[in-house]
Structure 1
Amino acid sequence: MNINRGPLLVFAGQSNRPLAEEICKHLGLPLGKSETIKFTNDNLIVQYTESLREGDVFIVQTFSTPVSDAIMELMLMIDAAKSASAGRVTAVIPYYSYARSDKKDAPRISIAGRLVADLLQAAGADRILTMTLHSPQVHGFFKVPVDHLSSDLVISDHLRQNVPNAESGVVLAPDSGSIKRASAIARRLNCGLAFIDKQRLNDTHVESRALIGDVKGKAVYIVDDEISTAGSLVEAINFAKRMGAGDVYVAVSHGVYTGPAIERIAALDVVEVASTNTVYVSEEKVAASGGKLRVLSVAELFANAISNIHTGESVSTLFE
């Protein structure tokens, strides 16, 4: 099916412009022209410097530090696009950080994942394109169509091409919540699967209790949705090593790398820590990690998804 829409236009906020530029290269399009100005009182103003009339507009903005500025800029860009008579506006959010806030697990708190979804829709977003939500149920917070991409194919291809005899290794889920993702990658690699069983000691401390599966003497691939401070990663790697694991490789969708993350990764007994470019990873961080950080591109996957959405074709076929 090919739907006759207005011209395809791709714009970028300030949070991950390199990814947006790479997406446009795959699409064979120039990145749209817009300008964001931050005043001395921290207010933002967004202006498009080209016509959007009846265009099929895609705005790329990841929710990385400073997250509140990224969200506000995206809402302003959506609202400005609608005011400029865009035919349809799709918010492309490679990393939706508030997906972690998906339930009321403490008294008197906000379910921020739902609140941000409401704000984006109130701003005028007609559609959402995102990748590897920490909690898939956040998909249901939106009343507009959501296309939820997976980085599993990119991660499994990277491991297959860069680890000798990758099929003889073991994919290790660092906790029970990551088993589904780890299992999908293990099937793609046709290799073993294991996971770490944890118990919560209190509100802030979790202890690894057992490793279910066999990792002794084998290459281990720890996969997860994101790395923030790398505290859980350190624990998972050390536990796997105590259980006799051989070389350890880490691959995640979102490399947020906040606080002491880079220092911790540099000190780890690990071959590499790979993440996709949903969050921008600077050359300074790569150097500070001792060269252990690797960045995998998902630009082509996003470009193909944008192209299929624009023409009315299935996005799910990208994973077949």
Structure 2
Amino acid sequence: MKLVSGTSNKVLAKAIGDHIDAPLTECEIERFADGEIFVRIGENIRGEDIFLIQSTSKPANDHLMELLICMDALARASANRITAVIPYFGYARQDRKTGGRTPITAKLVANLVAEAGAHRVLTLDLHAGQIQGFFDIPTDNLFVTPVFEDDLLRNYDTSELMIVSPDVGGVVRARSLASRLGADIAIVDKRRPKPGQSEVMNIIGDVEGRRCIIFDDIVDSGGTLCNAAAKLKEHGAISVAAYVTHGVLSGKAVERIAKSELSELVMTDSIAVDETVIKAPNIRMISIAPLLGEAIRRIANEESVSKLFD
């Protein structure tokens, strides 16, 4: 087994390697003056079981092309099996037609990954579960719920907790975490006047006197979380925190979150962050390297991955 890393999240890739005692394979990735990407694998990988770690985060197109080109290089170097480890699967929010003459880009990306040479995909908290069906190769979608459960048990009295879904579509995700903690759930009723904007209409559930935990898969502009936190406080919540798998944090999201009613935003390191996130007063990171590392070890040894969540 060998680990290969793209450039999107070298820190996470090294942490995964440290966890399973597998150093990263030498891989040279360069960009020509016109932006073209060049990849050279620096070690013999003939007949090896390869795990290529690359999130397709911002800049999404560059990191996606890098993933595809790396897989082509690995396939042409006679790797026995290539598993694309994509902690954050970009374009996942384009999982259906939202109007006439619009694409289903998540399906297109799934086709590209398979055609580039991947034999298997390992990812984390897909925005929509049906995206697994977009792939014609085995796909493992890991859940961050056990990682967040452990953190919540260490930091909160579960008798006070209320797990909050930021929209109707996230109810299944919120219920999963709530059932593990023995907590109740509430739902934020929101609407989107236009893409990138959200407006909270109502709170479904009694949150008065509770410590609310908003549980979601992606935080992008931060508008939904900040608006939901303010509304929950209006309805009598003692405190509001958010646990989110993927911290996209575009634009002025960090500044917006720092000024919000959120006591803290807890995110995984599926996406590499910059200094502004590290220095933010109410943002905390949790590593998913142990979870991904154990999944990689199980796949390499032909063991069950689903037992990680039993």
Q: Report the TM-score, using the length of structure 2 for normalisation.
A: 0.97
1:303 to 1:270, Cα distance in 2 relative to 1, 3 A: same
Alignment correspondent of 1:10 = 3
The counterpart of 1:98, out of the listed 85, 91, 103, is 91
Aligned residue for 1:124?
Answer: 117
The separation in 2 between residues aligned to 1:102 and 1:89, in whole angstroms, is 25
Find out whether 1:182 has 2:174 as its counterpart: yes
Match of 1:272 among 257, 261, 264: 264
Taking structure 1 as the reference length, the TM-score comes to: 0.94
- Indicate which of 294, 302, 305 corresponds to 2:292: 302
Could you tell me whether the CA contact under 8 Å between 1:281 and 1:295 is conserved in 2? no
Q: CA deviation at 1:169?
A: 1.2
Conserved 8 A contact 1:220-1:248: yes
Aligned residue in 1 for 2:216: 224
Please tell me whether residue 80 in structure 1 is matched to residue 70 in structure 2. Answer: no
Aligned identity (percent) is 39
Q: Which residues of structure 2 form unaligned runs of 5+?
A: none
In the alignment, what sits opposite 1:312? 302
Are residues 1:23 and 2:13 paired? Answer: no
- Once residues 79 and 182 of structure 1 are traced to their aligned partners in structure 2, the CA distance between those partners, rounded to angstroms, is 38
Q: Distance in 1 between matches of 2:125 and 2:105?
A: 17
Question: Which residue of structure 1 lines up, in the alignment, with residue 274 of structure 2?
Answer: 282
Contact 2:254/2:276, CA 8 A, preserved across alignment: no
What one-letter code is carried by the residue in structure 2 that aligns with 1:300? P
User: Does 2:57 correspond to 1:64?
Assistant: yes
Partner of 2:148: 155
Give unmatched runs, 5+ long, in structure 1.
Answer: 1-7
Amino acid at match of 2:231: F
Corresponding residue for residue 28 of structure 2: 35
1:134 aligns with 2:127: yes
8 Å Cα contact 1:91-1:125 kept in structure 2:
yes
Residue 144 (structure 1) shift: 0.3
> What secondary structure, in the 3-state scheme, does the structure 2 residue paired with 1:197 have?
strand
Q: Distance in 1 between matches of 2:245 and 2:88?
A: 9
Equivalent position of 1:195 in the other structure: 187
